[in-house]
Amino acid sequence: MSANVYDERTPPRPLPVGKAGYRTGGWWGMLALIGAEAALFAYLLFSYYYLQSQHAQTWPPTGLPPLRYSIPSTVALLISVATMWWAEHGIRVGRRVVSQAALAITLLLGIAYVVLQFLDWRIEPFLINADAYSSLFYAITALHVLHAIAGEFILVAMIIWSVLGHITQQRHIAIGIAAMYWYFIVLVWTAIFITFYMLPYIGPG
Amino acid sequence: MAANPTFRTPVVAQPTPELREKLEHMWSDKPGLIGWFSTVDHKKIGKRYLATAFIFLLAGGVEALGMRLQLAQPNEHLLSPQLYNQFFSMHGMTMIFLYALPILSGFSNYLWPLILGTRDMAFPRLNMFTYWVFLLAGIFMYIGFWNGKGTDVGWFNYVPLASRTYSPDWNVDIYSLGMIFLGISTTAGAINFIATAFRTRAPGMSISRVPIMIWGTLTANVGILFAVPAVSLDFFMLWCDRQFGTHFFDPANGGRPLLWQHLFWIFGHPWVYAIVLPAMSIVSQGLPVYCRRPLVANSAVILATILTMVLGFGVWVHHMFSTGLPVIAMGFFSAASFVIVIPSAVSVFAWTATIWTGRPVFTTAFKFFAAEIVLFVVGGVSGFMTAAVPLDWQLTDTYFVVAHIHFVLIGINVFPVIGGIYHWFPKMTGKMMSEKLGRWNFWLMFVGFLVGFFPMHISGLLGMPRRVYTYPAGMGWSDLNLVTTIGAFIFALGALLFVVNVIRSLAAGQKAPANPWDADTLEWAIPSPPPSYNFDVIPRVGSIHPLWEDRLEEQGDRTIFEPGAVLDHEHEIPGTTVLDAEPDVILKQPSPTLAPLITALLIAGVFVGMLMAMWWVALACMAALIPALFYWFWPTVETGWAPRHPRERA
């Protein structure tokens, strides 16, 4: 075989190296991880709706949930979607300081969500071992908080690596991957918020 | 910076001895203990998976022989009821979780990059991490067995028996936490396989040229990704019920025991396909080689594989027909269970037609693959029978179901696995296995299996319940059980011969050529055993049978082995597009590191802390995971990040 055969079919062309470009292995890895995590929360919500469907008395058994902290925390997370997008867009157009600032704001909003969720737990009228509803409530919200904290550590890593100069306009896929995870966190929270804090107000109870 | 330009045109050239030397230097591990612990070479990881899973198979086998001795005669007292409970629970757990999937991960880890024509998996460090977690979780799940704290309420661990009230000791805690721990390995492995299949195929291996073994494992791992969270969650909720007094499964406080069963089988049935589809694809890959022709209806078998997995998510309730569910639900799930026979039959007919229209060479591997077809049909029919609700009501929790599960799991997992070892052993070790010992190995295992497991159908039909530690005389079960025990020992003797053959061949086997079976896929194009870098230059794939192209005389592209892309700047592999596999990036792969081992050990610490309710241990290990992960993921030029430079102003 001559060297030409290879060349004719795919003339070698310049390829992005390493983390340059959009579709690194990490992008696929994050997509698959999100698939597994989405399944986890789907099964959690399945358990909730299953036990609700098997429940003869009023639901939730302890009355309507408090909204004092859950609405602000939801708003914080929804705003963080915009700031996360801003961070990704900023690095893409080469504005690293803007991107770092947007990452920091996203991080603060994420921390605000975690703090508000802790405050929400303090005003709930039950503990985790009260009944099946309380067990589900704490298990689902706590697992989500754990995932959010993991996401916040990823944001910290992004800020550090951006400041150190590892993330550049040419190699910014890491922020894109972190953003995928963060959007997923917020999406799951909206499902949890609707399930625990909205449906009891509008559902048949 | 020259060390890491943003763009580079890969050099395409003929391989030279200098290039091989350079690659060998780049890709081989450090010598000594550090090298052993820090390797990320998929071939070493694959072999470790195979060896470890096989040791678990032997452990599970010894437990089975213990049970068979106890059941050989009525009213025996070899094992106490408590010990027998542990034996059958540990046996199920070991075989289903610690052997059946890890052994297939071993094959896939070893073979995928070779079959895909590349130098490593998408995530080499994650790959090593999955092995360490598997090993540590396996040890974790066995730690209680020695002092009577092995899990003892069956591998599906139903509540309320598994609740604190009825199982107060550590047995179920170890199993619960161990399963969550193991789930980390399985999920991470699935992520790695998915990214590898979609990202790192050799240039030219478009989606229609992907060999069937990749399809089987890829399909199973997509299934695993969505199924394993169900069982991890199930065991997590059970552990919370036991440890913190939550009420997920407690009917007195709004919980439901059936929630356990739903989540367990939402996981459990897809899992069955996760541990048989890759093994079926081993048969689909290996059998045609010995029939000297391509697999009949290759595309149909691939589509059937995917369809089986999809349908597999919709049949879980057939494990729960006797729990008093609504008739309409049972009707739906019964029908879905019947439908799943159709894609399974596609594979059976394709294999049969491959043998029928081929020129079979009766090697040991061929015999194991062909036996799989027979056992799959028998196991499939008994499964089909129990998909009918009334028959299931009669047969559930009898030895008929025990016969069914062993026909499908030994038939479609163990037989292809042993056949697969005979097939790929020359590639992995550079030594041939003895065909003469192989003949004895096969016939003892095949006859022993049929003598051992077929009579279980009859004892089940005669009403013998599963999981009893003994039975009275005069039930009509005694002779059948004696035959079963004799068969089990013949089977075990066959398995022992396999071990003897492996050890003997490793020590004094004939030297294997690159392609001893004249097979068709890329792993056979490189030396046996492969060098640390696999391919000196990356081939360009032209068809699904790269090594048979000239003989198949098909029109169209031909595979080009050399010249190929050289990629000799540290660990590099080409990243290609999903459908056409056109190169679109040069991926920078990590070199050996201790980060995966450290991370796995810290996670083990978290689980030990949780098991012993030493919360500060769990919390300390969890906190230590943060710097460990920063260390793992810290950006380096070598892994493709931008070189560090002074802060720039926007």
* A15/B14 CB distance under 8 A: no
Whether B79 shows a pLDDT value over 70: the answer reads yes
Contact assessment for residue B4 and residue A18, using Cβ atoms and an 8 Å cutoff: yes
Query: What value does the mean pLDDT of chain B take?
Result: 94
Contact assessment for residue B230 and residue A39, using Cβ atoms and an 8 Å cutoff: yes
Dump pLDDT digits (tens) for A10-42: 667 888 888 877 777 889 999 999 999 999 999
Burial of B374 (0-12, 13-18, 19+ CB in 10 A): middle
Helix (H) or strand (E) holding B563: strand B560-565
- Chain centroid to Cα A43, Å, comes to 17
Contact assessment for residue A90 and residue A102, using Cβ atoms and an 8 Å cutoff: yes
Distance, in angstroms, between B626 CA and closest chain A CA? 8
Whether B130 shows a pLDDT value over 70: the answer reads yes
Average pLDDT over residues B87-99: 97
Q: A56 and chain B: CB distance < 8 Å anywhere?
A: no
Helix (H) or strand (E) holding B225: helix B212-244
- What pLDDT was estimated at residue B283? 97
Give the residue from chain A lying closest to B626, CA to CA.
Answer: A153
Dump pLDDT digits (tens) for B500-537: 999 999 999 999 999 999 999 999 999 999 999 999 99
- What pLDDT was estimated at residue B147? 86
- Name every chain B residue with its beta carbon within 8 A of the beta carbon of A188: none
Which residues of chain A from 71 to 100 reach within 8 Å of chain B, CB to CB?
94-98
Average pLDDT over residues B42-65: 97
Distance, in angstroms, between A80 CA and closest chain B CA? 23
Give exposure, A109-125, as e/b (b: 16+ Cβ within 10 Å).
bbebbbebbeebbeebe
- What pLDDT was estimated at residue B554? 75
Residue A145 tokens read as: 């908080």
Whether A140 shows a pLDDT value over 80: the answer reads yes
Mutate to test the interface with B, among A54, A155, A166, A188 (most CBs of B within 10 A): A166
Average pLDDT over residues B570-591: 91
Average pLDDT over residues B545-567: 88
Whether B646 shows a pLDDT value over 60: the answer reads no
pLDDT band at residue A1 using 50, 70 and 90 as cut-offs = very low
Alpha-carbon distance of B312 to B315, in angstroms, equals 6
- Measure the CA angle with vertex B333, ends B338 and B176; round to 5°: 115
Average pLDDT over residues B121-126: 96
pLDDT band at residue B562 using 50, 70 and 90 as cut-offs = confident
Dump pLDDT digits (tens) for B449-463: 999 999 999 999 999
Residue B13: what are its φ and ψ, rounded to 5°?
-155, 170
Task: Report yes or no for ipTM above 0.90.
Answer: yes
- What pLDDT was estimated at residue B6? 83
B560-565 β-sheet, strand order: B12-13, B560-565, B538-540
- What pLDDT was estimated at residue A202? 87
Contact assessment for residue B581 and residue B197, using Cβ atoms and an 8 Å cutoff: no
* A21/B584 CB distance under 8 A: yes
Dump pLDDT digits (tens) for B105-120: 999 999 999 999 999 9
- Name every chain B residue with its beta carbon within 8 A of the beta carbon of A168: 642
Q: Where are the beta strands (DSSP E) in B399-448?
A: none
| Closest alpha carbon to B195 in B285, B283, B126, B96 | B126
Which residues of chain A from 20 to 49 reach within 8 Å of chain B, CB to CB?
20-21, 23-25, 28-29, 32-33, 35-37, 39-40, 43-44, 46-47
Whether B73 shows a pLDDT value over 70: the answer reads yes
Q: Is the peptide bond before B563 cis (omega within 30 degrees of 0)?
A: yes
- What pLDDT was estimated at residue A25? 82
- What pLDDT was estimated at residue B650? 34
DSSP per-residue string spanning A3-61: HHHHHHHS----EEBTT-SS--HHHHHHHHHHHHHHHHHHHHHHHHHHHHHT--S-SST
Alpha-carbon distance of B78 to B60, in angstroms, equals 18
Alpha-carbon distance of B608 to B614, in angstroms, equals 8
Alpha-carbon distance of B335 to B324, in angstroms, equals 18
Residue A147 tokens read as: 């995932």
Whether A8 shows a pLDDT value over 70: the answer reads no
- What pLDDT was estimated at residue A204? 63
Measure CA of the first residue to CA of the last residue in chain A; give whole Å. Answer: 75
How many CB atoms sit inside 10 A of residue B168's CB? 10
- What pLDDT was estimated at residue B644? 72
Between the alpha carbon of residue B370 and those of residues A188, B104, B548, the distances in Å are 48, 19, 23
- Name every chain B residue with its beta carbon within 8 A of the beta carbon of A51: 248, 254-256, 259
* A132/B255 CB distance under 8 A: yes
Which residues of chain B from 581 to 620 reach within 8 Å of chain A, CB to CB?
582-588
Between the alpha carbon of residue B561 and those of residues B206, B213, B532, the distances in Å are 16, 21, 18
Average pLDDT over residues B419-448: 97
Pick A15's closest partner by Cβ from B584, B644, B646.
Answer: B584
Alpha-carbon distance of B178 to A177, in angstroms, equals 30
Q: B255 and chain A: CB distance < 8 Å anywhere?
A: yes
Contact assessment for residue B27 and residue B109, using Cβ atoms and an 8 Å cutoff: no
Average pLDDT over residues B297-321: 95
Q: B646 and chain A: CB distance < 8 Å anywhere?
A: yes
Pick A15's closest partner by Cβ from B10, B198, B237.
Answer: B10
pLDDT band at residue A118 using 50, 70 and 90 as cut-offs = very high
* B586/A131 CB distance under 8 A: no
Alpha-carbon distance of B339 to B384, in angstroms, equals 10
pLDDT band at residue B642 using 50, 70 and 90 as cut-offs = confident
Between the alpha carbon of residue A145 and those of residues A124, A192, B459, B568, the distances in Å are 16, 11, 52, 44
- What pLDDT was estimated at residue B2? 44
- What pLDDT was estimated at residue A10? 60
Q: B262 and chain A: CB distance < 8 Å anywhere?
A: yes
- What pLDDT was estimated at residue B1? 39
Alpha-carbon distance of B454 to B400, in angstroms, equals 9
- Which parts of chain A fold into alpha helices (H)? 3-9, 25-53, 70-92, 96-123, 132-163, 173-193, 199-202
Dump pLDDT digits (tens) for B208-222: 999 999 999 999 999
- Name every chain A residue with its beta carbon within 8 A of the beta carbon of B626: 153
Pick B247's closest partner by Cβ from A5, A132, A165.
Answer: A132
DSSP per-residue string spanning B101-117: HHHHHHHHHHHHHHHHT
Whether B241 shows a pLDDT value over 60: the answer reads yes
Contact assessment for residue B160 and residue B242, using Cβ atoms and an 8 Å cutoff: no
Residue A127: what are its φ and ψ, rounded to 5°?
-105, 180
Q: Where are the beta strands (DSSP E) in B362-403?
A: none
Q: Give the amino acid at B544.
A: I
Whether B476 shows a pLDDT value over 70: the answer reads yes
Percent of chain B with pLDDT over 90: 91
Alpha-carbon distance of B95 to A170, in angstroms, equals 49
Which residues of chain A from 173 to 192 reach within 8 Å of chain B, CB to CB?
none
Contact assessment for residue B69 and residue B87, using Cβ atoms and an 8 Å cutoff: no
Q: Which residue has the tokens 């190995």?
A: B441
Alpha-carbon distance of B234 to B254, in angstroms, equals 17
- What pLDDT was estimated at residue A3? 41
